[in-house]
Every structure is written in C-alpha cells, then in structure tokens.
Amino acid sequence: MGANNNKSVVKICILIFSGLFFNSTLTGQSSLQIYDNFEGTKALHYGERTGVLDTVAKNPAPNSVNGSVKCGLYVRNAAKKFANIKMNLPQKLTGVDAFATYLGIPPKLKLKVYTSAPAGTLVEILLGSKRGNNDYPAGTHSQYQAYTTKSNEWEELEFKFSQIPQGSETSATQIDQVVLLFNPNSSTSDTYYFDDLSGPSVLTGENTGNSIPTKEENSNDKENKNEKKSSTEKGSKTPNKKGSDKKLTKK
C-alpha cells in the first residue's frame, strides 16, 4: 500500500508541474524586463537616432496607464522614411526564441505610448546585434509590430512577432540592440511620448560578471555620437498584415 501511495504522489506532482509548464507556454506567461522607465530603472543606453530625442521629458497627460512624472519624447524626422532610435544593451538578451514564434501564445514586448498621430499608426521593434549596427536584414534577428488605437492618450502596446527577415545572419543568442521605429516607411514628423519599454531579460551579472543598472544603481552611460548612416533606414520591410543621455539631440 505504501509503495502504491508513493507512486500516486509522484504521478500527481508530475502532472502538476507539467500543467504549469504547459500553461506558461500556451498563455505567453514570461517575465519581462523594463529597459528604461526614465525614473531610475535603466538597462540600456541610447545610441544613434534620426529625429529629436528627449530622455527627461515631462509626462504630458498622466493617467492610470502611465502615472510617471518623466518619460521619453521623440519627434520623428520626416526626411527619413525609416527614422529610428537605436538602444544598446550592456549584455545579450536571453530567451528571445520564446518571443519570436508563431506557435502558441508567445510573450510580447510592451511599450507605453502617447501621441497625437492618428489611431492605427504602426510602431515597430527590431531585435538585433549592435556589432552590425542592426544592419537590415543581416544584423536583425526579428521584427515585432503593434498599432496604436488611441490619440492624445496613453496606452500600452503589445508587440506581435512579425517575422525573422529573409537574409538575417543574427541568432537569438546574439541580440544586444533594440531599434524602435514609429510609423516606419513614412514621411511624417509626429511627436511620440513613450515609456516602460519591456521585453526579454538582459543577461545578469551572475552570468556575465556585469550588473544590470537598477533604480539604486543607474549607469552613467555615454551617448553614442557616431555619425554613421542609420542602417535601418536602408529598408526595414514592413510585412503585410533619466540617465546621462543628452537632452534634445537631433541628427
């Protein structure tokens, strides 16, 4: 009897843990890391950008979605069809494969956005390698898309995996750069406030020997001022359907 009871307990434990794993996989549950909340939590630094970027902007309309005092502000450069902001990470991202799939219900990158641009405006995120300056498509691992549903009001966008571009030479374990594009492949000059970009976790100091900045240890990173042409402008193809960063910089 005792042996049978032990076997039953083991079977129950296996079923419970299997169910937890199965549920986590299919429901898209995954821990997201906030890369920058513009109020002390920061795990990246801003590199090249096309347009005006202010990393200590005042929240234009605090609400229940975003009650932060500070946020990011970006004015798109109308002369650049693929105007973008490049954000460099101190280490590689981990667990990206879970996001870059059409199977089940994968976890999603998230970003809070406030803009006067019309509802239905495309926002795109590219995950890639800064070694190749996220050159498209070779330096880009994967693309994620979301569309705004409101104007002049904060909302949190969830980015759906779009594709791994044909010609990509970057694996899921080589990602250390995030590129943000507002209304790509357009000639608009709208203003976008954004906050709390979150996604796959950055490798921690336990794995790499380097710590990730937190609210208590905000890094004094330096802004990348290279004058290289933004490789993303070469053609991020859209498939069918407050740190020490300098304030108000323009390229």
pLDDT (tens digit per residue) in 149-164: 999 999 999 999 999 9
Residues 172-181 have pLDDT tens digits of 999 999 999 9
Report which of 231, 85, 97 is spatially closest to residue 161, judged by C-alpha positions. Answer: 97
- Identify residue 84 by its one-letter amino acid code: N
31-250, CATH topology level: Jelly Rolls (2.60.120)
> pTM of the full predicted structure?
0.75
According to the model, what pLDDT value does residue 8 have? Answer: 52
* Interacting residues of 132 by C-beta distance below 8 A, sequence separation 6+: 138, 139, 169, 170, 231
Rounded mean pLDDT of 74-101? 98
According to the model, what pLDDT value does residue 204 have? Answer: 82
Long-range contacts of 158-162 (CB under 8 A, 24+ apart): 158/108, 158/109, 158/110, 159/108, 159/109, 159/110, 159/111, 159/123, 159/125, 160/108, 161/99, 161/100, 161/101, 161/102, 161/106, 161/108, 162/124, 162/239
Report the distance separating Cα 152 and Cα 180, nearest Å: 20
Q: Kindly state the tokens that stand for 216.
A: 């208590």
Residues 2-39 have pLDDT tens digits of 555 555 544 444 433 444 333 444 445 568 999 999 99
Report the distance separating Cα 196 and Cα 151, nearest Å: 18
Rounded mean pLDDT of 103-113? 98
Domain spans of the chain? 1-30, 31-250
Report the distance separating Cα 230 and Cα 251, nearest Å: 10
Q: 161 with 132: CB under 8 angstroms?
A: no
- Mean predicted lDDT score pLDDT of the chain: 81
According to the model, what pLDDT value does residue 134 have? Answer: 78
Report the distance separating Cα 226 and Cα 246, nearest Å: 14
